[in-house]
Amino acid sequence: MAADLNLFVDGLSPRELAGQLLVVGYGGLEPPPELCAALEAGERAGVILFRRNISAGLTGLAALQASLTRVARQCRPELRQLVAIDEEGVRVARLGAPALALPPMRRLAAAGELELIERVAFAVARELRCLGVTMNFAPVVDVDTNPDNPIIGDRAFSNEPGRVAECAAAYLRGLRAGGVASCLKHYPGHGDTLLDSHLALPTVAHDRGRLEAVELVPFRQLASAADSMMTAHVLYPALDPAHPATLSVTIATDLLRGQLGFRGVLFSDDLEMRAMDGLGGFGASAVAAVRAGCDLLLVCSRPDAQAEVHAALAAAIGADEAFASRCRGAARRALELRRAYAPCPGTCDDFVELERSLLAPLASELSRRLSA
């Protein structure tokens, strides 16, 4: 299998190879024809879903199932698409009823045992898989040590690094048992920032000793268990005074793979976020992120930004054999993940049965235990 994958990746054109590093979002309830054509041509690795892509109720979930099934059938079998979503709970949840209504992870960690966290993650994975989603960008493993943090808060399990790690380990077990890939975010830690990286570039000014004792603990403990991680668009001067984590070889390669021992797929956070403003534009940031160590890049909204990133990567691949080799390594790693978690959408009847047998009973139990 490894030899076959190597030969396959080696045979990709620069445009195809560039596409294997790019996961994109879209507007509306149906992927636009241009995106479907790009997926079919092997010039996109997959899609990320948001609330804007899913209409309300069972009818909306059935429409999503049907849409993802159509797109999956258009993709080449050897280039199975990644279908990702952020289904964390409350503030960051894309699905509505009859999908499971998730509490904040902080509440779940405080009120439940690890076994309950694992069951919740399993239920989330089962419903996502039934819909045709292959990856959940969860769990958040930031250690929420700053009460003024505008973006993490109760998305985090705890302000104690050990508790974050054990809760996240349970969540990872549940997702894997349910057949959906996991992602630890936001590496190397977004829990002690005063700015939202969607809006500006935050800085975590702690020294290396503090980062090792707090922020890095969950990532280090879970490096061998996670399918993927996502970088933070955050500056850590003690690690790299010049580059945010997404663009830092020191953080995204030397520390992550050399010292933490991570072997999975590394995603960038959305390259459209304002934290990346002033860093050279979408194309330059994309090339820099891949050079730093990112394997898959998120560009979540703008078709023009997606096209710019794709063109910049393809041009760099054609001009620089060292960069092309780096991209082939990233594509192999990402394709291994995509093949391990291939889309397997169900039907509306499947979801109704899942809701009856698993989701509704668990929702009732959660309501009872969280109100106790």
Residues that are catalytic? 198, 269
Say whether 1 sits in a helix, a strand or coil: coil
Contacts 24+ apart (CB under 8 A), 280-284: 281/308, 282/308, 282/309, 282/312, 283/308, 283/309, 283/311, 283/312, 283/313, 284/312
Separation of alpha carbons 43 and 219, rounded Å? 31
259-278 in b/e form (b: 16+ CB < 10 A) is: ebebebbbbbbbbbbebbee
Residue given tokens 């499971």 in the structure block: 100
Separation of alpha carbons 6 and 257, rounded Å? 21
Alpha helices in 52-205 (DSSP H): 57-74, 105-111, 114-131, 161-178
Say whether 140 sits in a helix, a strand or coil: strand
Separation of alpha carbons 285 and 305, rounded Å? 11
Helical axes 281-292 vs 321-340, angle rounded to 10°: 80
Rama region for 310: left / alpha / beta (φ>0; ψ in -120 to 50; rest): alpha
Q: Rounded to 5 degrees, what angle do the CA atoms 271, 272, 278 make?
A: 85
Residue given tokens 């892509």 in the structure block: 53
Tokens of 281: 């534009």
For the chain, strand residue ranges (E) read 22-24, 46-49, 82-85, 135-136, 184-187, 228-231, 235-236, 240-244, 265-270, 296-299
Tokens of 226: 């996670």
Q: Rounded to 5 degrees, what angle do the CA atoms 111, 112, 118 make?
A: 145
Cβ atoms within 10 Å, residue 281 = 15
